[in-house]
Amino acid sequence: MNSLVKKILKTFFSIAVTFFLFLIIISISLYIYIGKGLEFKINKSNSSIASLSEQYNIDFDASSTINLIADTDRVDVYLLLKNIIINKDNDSFIKANNVSIRASFSYANIILLGSSFFNTEKILYSSIGSINIHFNEPVLNIKNLNSLDNGNLSKSDQFFPLSIKADNGILFDGDLEIGKFSMTLDMNQFENKSDIQSYSVDLESHKNFPADYIGKFFKEVTSIQDDNETVFFDINIKDQEAASFENTQILNGVLRVRDTKIDLEKFPVELKPESIRNLSLDLNIIDNIGQINLLGSVTNPKVRLKLQKEPNLQIAGSIDFQEILEPYLDLIVNGTDIFFAKEANTNLNGITDLRISISGKNVLDLAGELNIKKSHGFLVPLTNSTFETQHTIKKENDE
């Protein structure tokens, strides 16, 4: 989640550069048409504007306007870009009904900006005041997000404050609609790169959101899907001190999954994973601490499915999301009449009750007890046992 949020936030940075160049283009016009309440349309046939549009893959309606209000010590600039489209890799990346950009410039800074740009074709960032960008009902497609090159951040004194806000947006991943989102983002802009100061992102799932999309983030999950499943989530992730070296990220939200089926690639031990059916999951997160409850049925291939509808597996406990990409687990697993079989030879199988505690993050400590009810194919029938072991879920060289 944290990685995805950072990629989305950083993507807005390159968009901002386009708007700043528009502001510089109008700087000379200010001294010709100076006055209060000046408004004119953005001429898309202008060679400079056309070049910028092509360079940054941005298009907007011809009715887009620039408003200028000159006071005694500054000029307030207001851009309204209508029906804006920004493309990445020949696909639509962002669409919005309109985008508004607000900024104020002193007369001295306007001269510096214009002189620097037309003489060196570079922006004198220290002459730019704070800029606010507001996307109204944007449609954001993160399909090509991994192809964006954000580069390494090189800070200097050439920066300016930038605030971005998006309201009532729709988030897509390719053709899949993930859900509704809103966000606020405050940063310092350094050339075409940015240093995030604070952010807040809200995301609510689409009514037909598939559970299998979540399973893609877990290597040991082969699939999570069922025709009758329902999924709902509503999450907020924010960081009011993102520039701090400390972890100040806060996650809140809920996740509810009903009537789905999960298949695992493998178990922590050499047992053949059986499907968990009729799975329902509730996860509630308050300030990085989540409480989870999972109910499901571990299928027994020797018994007809219609006779296995009662849940026989429960997982409950807490999850600490202080480090969102590496949550700390503290869970208890209870199972009744759980079928098990060896991976190498499924003729070696049996039925057991179990109770297991799981704690840790990259390396999980597993401890518990097994109450063997039946065992088949073993030379010596299995007996009840207790165990302690560790299971690595993330290797040190994993990214």
Report domain extents, the chain.
1-209, 230-399
pLDDT value at 353 more than 60:
yes
- The pLDDT, as a whole number, for residue 28 is 45
- Lowest model confidence (mean pLDDT) among 34-38, 210-214, 232-236, 319-323: 34-38
- The pLDDT, as a whole number, for residue 113 is 67
Q: Which of 148-152, 234-238, 309-313, 376-380 has the highest mean pLDDT?
A: 234-238
pLDDT value at 120 more than 50:
yes
3-state class (DSSP) for residue 51: helix
Categorize the per-residue pLDDT at 121 as very low, low, confident or very high, splitting at 50, 70 and 90. Answer: low
Calculate the average pLDDT of the chain: 82
Report percent pLDDT > 90 for the chain. Answer: 42
List, for residues 159-190, the tens digit of each pLDDT value. 778 899 999 999 999 999 999 999 999 988 76
Query: How confident is the model over 10-30, as a mean pLDDT?
Result: 55
3-state class (DSSP) for residue 226: coil
- The pLDDT, as a whole number, for residue 395 is 52
pLDDT value at 156 more than 80:
no
Categorize the per-residue pLDDT at 216 as very low, low, confident or very high, splitting at 50, 70 and 90. Answer: confident
Give the separation between CA 170 and CA 141, rounded to whole angstroms: 8
pLDDT value at 21 more than 70:
no
Query: How confident is the model over 302-307, as a mean pLDDT?
Result: 81
Categorize the per-residue pLDDT at 219 as very low, low, confident or very high, splitting at 50, 70 and 90. Answer: confident
* DSSP per-residue string spanning 298-363: E--TTS-GGG--S--EEEEEEEE-SSTTSPEEEEEEEEEEEEEEBSS-TTSEEEEEEEEEEEESSE
Which residue in this structure is represented by tokens 């990346």?
A: 93
Categorize the per-residue pLDDT at 279 as very low, low, confident or very high, splitting at 50, 70 and 90. Answer: very high
Report percent pLDDT > 70 for the chain. Answer: 77
Give the separation between CA 58 and CA 261, rounded to whole angstroms: 43
Containing 45, the helix (H) or strand (E) segment is: none
What radius of gyration, in Å, describes the C-alpha atoms of the chain? 28
Q: Could you tell me which residue, 393 or 315, shows the higher pLDDT?
A: 315
- The pLDDT, as a whole number, for residue 3 is 59
- The pLDDT, as a whole number, for residue 59 is 84
Query: How confident is the model over 260-286, as a mean pLDDT?
Result: 90
Query: How confident is the model over 31-55, as a mean pLDDT?
Result: 65
- The pLDDT, as a whole number, for residue 154 is 52
- Beta strand extents in the chain (DSSP E only): 38-41, 58-59, 65-70, 74-88, 91-106, 131-136, 139-141, 159-173, 176-190, 193-205, 221-224, 230-239, 250-264, 276-286, 289-298, 313-320, 328-341, 349-360, 363-376, 385-392
pTM of the model as a whole: 0.81
Joined tokens for residue 9: 């936030």
pLDDT value at 196 more than 50:
yes
- The pLDDT, as a whole number, for residue 32 is 47
Query: How confident is the model over 295-309, as a mean pLDDT?
Result: 84
Q: Could you tell me which residue, 307 or 200, shows the higher pLDDT?
A: 200
Q: Could you tell me which residue, 21 or 318, shows the higher pLDDT?
A: 318
Query: How confident is the model over 24-30, as a mean pLDDT?
Result: 52
pLDDT value at 13 more than 70:
no
Residue type (1 letter), 259: D
Q: At what angle do helices 47-55 and 2-25 cross, to 10 degrees?
A: 170
Categorize the per-residue pLDDT at 356 as very low, low, confident or very high, splitting at 50, 70 and 90. Answer: very high
Query: How confident is the model over 122-131, as a mean pLDDT?
Result: 71
Distances (CA, A) of 351 to 209, 249, 305: 35, 44, 16
Q: Could you tell me which residue, 5 or 382, shows the higher pLDDT?
A: 382
- The pLDDT, as a whole number, for residue 352 is 95
Joined tokens for residue 337: 């009449």
Query: How confident is the model over 256-280, as a mean pLDDT?
Result: 89
pLDDT value at 367 more than 80:
yes
Those residues whose C-beta lies under 8 Å from the C-beta of residue 134, and which sit 6 or more positions away, are 99, 100, 101, 102, 164, 165, 166, 167
Joined tokens for residue 76: 């307030």
